[in-house]
Amino acid sequence: MTKQFLWLIILMGLQNLTHAQKVFLKGFVYDKVTNTPLIGAYVSLDNRETETDRFGQYHFNSIASGKHTVTATYVGYILQRKTITVQNGREVNLNLFLDDKPDEMNSLTVFGKLDASSEEASRSTEKNSLNITNIISAKAIERSPDINAANVLQRMSGVTLKKNSSPDESYTIIRGMEPRYNNTLIDGIQIASPDEKSRSVSLSIIPSDLLERITVDKTLMPDMEGDAIGGTVNLCMKNAPDSFSIQANAAIGYEQMFLNRKFTYFPTNDIQSKSPLQRNPPGYTAKPEDFSRSNLDFRNKQALPNGILGFTFSNRYLKKKLGVILSDNIQNLYYGEKSMFAAVSPENQFISNKLRQIEVSNNLGSTHQLNNGLIAHLDYRLNDNNKFNLDNFYLYTYLSRARLSTDTTLVGTGRTGPGTGQVFLNDQSLTQKQFIENLKLSATHLINSHLLIDWAGVLSESGKHSPDRATLTNDFLINPDFSRTPTYFNSIERIWQKNNDHDYTGLINVSYRKKIGQNASMELKTGGMYRAKSRYNYQDLYTLRPPTTNSNGGATSGKPVFTDIYHTDWSVFNSAGSGTYDPQ
């Protein structure tokens, strides 16, 4: 019992000794003139450092006995150093007063940058631009229900859209200038056009989810391509951020039009990719059996819902030097069309300019469109003065459209009043595939504080293939007593169309900037661009008409009654086709 009590006394003594050796140093750091506590001042004790808190206080724990050096520093103040002697068991309080040193910091420069996809960055760019520019940011696009670039541009002032062959609007009209006077860029470089008749690019096939912003320049600058007197649409794709990011989005909807009617479609399995002229040796004479029938067999079904799926991955590697972004967007869309077209002509061009209607066409269309857009971006920062970028944009779209048109003739051809006369039925099937690809290697080099060089090499390719666009034309007559004749087979038009466009572009710009005085600067800029372009269009057209002879070899009389496409006979009017190779 005595030994246990002795050990207890020894342990209590050791505990008191240990507690006595734990010495604390604390105090405040003040401005010597105003006695204001300095928040965030650095205080060091030998090799240990700390900062003052929001009250200007600091403290150090567990200080050994002996002499120590205490140092206090703060921006704009003179460093202060003091030596203290610490004794066992005694707490040390040391307040430090720093003298102001205004000549230590002549200037303070704060660097920052706006997120290029933000509204603030867009408004700042518009404000500081030297030409008339309007910008729609990615944040604004995210808040809108728009699924493609054409829908987004409808919200911009001074820009209207012209419809293409589908009911969606796609071609830009800037400041009233037709699409042929405008051009479309991706990240500042003109892209090849998949259109067979013009250089226009259908913006309805470009998913808005891939865009960082859309810039519309309504006036040209010397460093811009000079072939767009109307304006320029610049589609800026997503760029790699400074941190890791994964984004995914999905949407589903339904076309309101198909709540009241069915979706019209046609089988596509029998469509020939090449025309008879392309499939056979030169001089081949096309025969009736060379043309499929099922793609003119129009059927009805319930349309499927529209679906959109997007995914974006971005990150930086190699100590933030290498940036990577991959983004993909898939759109599976079903939409309908209901429109009317009226044709007019002068009532009597010799005595009056008054117009009269001569024909009315009512159109009913159903379209299935599949879009897949992919962007890949790499940027490498060699150092603060040299940066390299590799960008690839690829877009593929598939379209299948059935359009049923009823054309009523209002002048002649048996018309005696409203509801009478000849009526033409024009039923068309179309399948179409098109793509756009843009590969760009670019770099910027800051030679010194005044001289900047940037260059780019671009390969741009696009194409469109529309195999066997078929249009079936039938007609019937509504008599004065409103009785109707049978439907007669009139003709069938079959068109194979394919075009391709290649652009090879290289450019370089040299900029020299120098400050003049306190509030002004001067910039001199020069550069050059080289572009090699190749483009071709191919079209082969065949017209199928009722046969002029019957199965017995005798002449036929009149047009045959149309029952269905599988029981219709025809002859090839232009059996050699009209295949032409049209380089431009």
Q: What φ, ψ does residue 71 adopt, rounded to 5°? A: -125, 135
Residue 20, pLDDT score: 42
Kindly tell me the sign of the dihedral angle through the C-alpha atoms of 288, 289, 293, 295. negative
Phi-psi category of 435—alpha, beta or left, where left has phi over 0 and alpha has psi -120 to 50? beta
Residue 113, pLDDT score: 67
Q: How confident is the model at residue 465 (pLDDT cuts 50, 70, 90)?
A: very high
Which of the listed CATH numbers 2.40.50.100, 2.170.130.10, 1.10.3720.10, 3.40.50.150 matches domain 119-237? 2.170.130.10
Contacts of the segment 354-362: beta carbons below 8 A, 24+ positions apart? 356/411, 357/410, 358/409, 358/410, 358/411, 359/407, 359/408, 359/409, 359/410, 359/411, 360/407, 360/408, 360/410, 361/405, 361/406, 361/407, 361/408, 362/405, 362/406, 362/408
Q: In the predicted model, is pLDDT for residue 326 greater than 70?
A: yes
> What confidence tens digit (pLDDT) does each residue in 539-582 have?
999 999 998 755 555 556 678 999 999 999 999 998 888 865 44
Q: Look at 326 and 116; give whichever has higher pLDDT.
A: 326
Residue count of the chain, please give it: 584
Torsion of CA 200, 205, 211, 213, to 10 degrees: 40
Tokens at residue 371, please? 């879009």
The Cβ-side half-sphere exposure at 39, using a 13 Å CA radius, reads 3
Instruction: Please give the mean pLDDT across all residues of the chain.
Output: 85
> What confidence tens digit (pLDDT) does each residue in 7-18 have?
444 444 434 444
474 CB contacts (<8 Å, ≥6 apart)?
Answer: 424, 425, 427, 487, 488, 489, 490, 562
Residue 184, pLDDT score: 87
pLDDT > 90 in the chain, percent: 45
Q: In the predicted model, is pLDDT for residue 133 greater than 50?
A: yes
> What confidence tens digit (pLDDT) does each residue in 188-199 have?
888 888 888 777
Q: Average the pLDDT over 531-537 and give the result.
A: 91
Query: Which pTM value belongs to this model?
Result: 0.74
Residue 255, pLDDT score: 92
Domain(s) of CATH 2.60.40.1120: residues in the chain? 21-104
Residue carrying structure tokens 């507690």: 19
Q: In the predicted model, is pLDDT for residue 293 greater than 90?
A: yes
Name the fold adopted by 21-104: Immunoglobulin-like (2.60.40)
Domain(s) of CATH 2.170.130.10: residues in the chain? 119-237
* 464 and 478 Cβ atoms separated by less than 8 Å: no
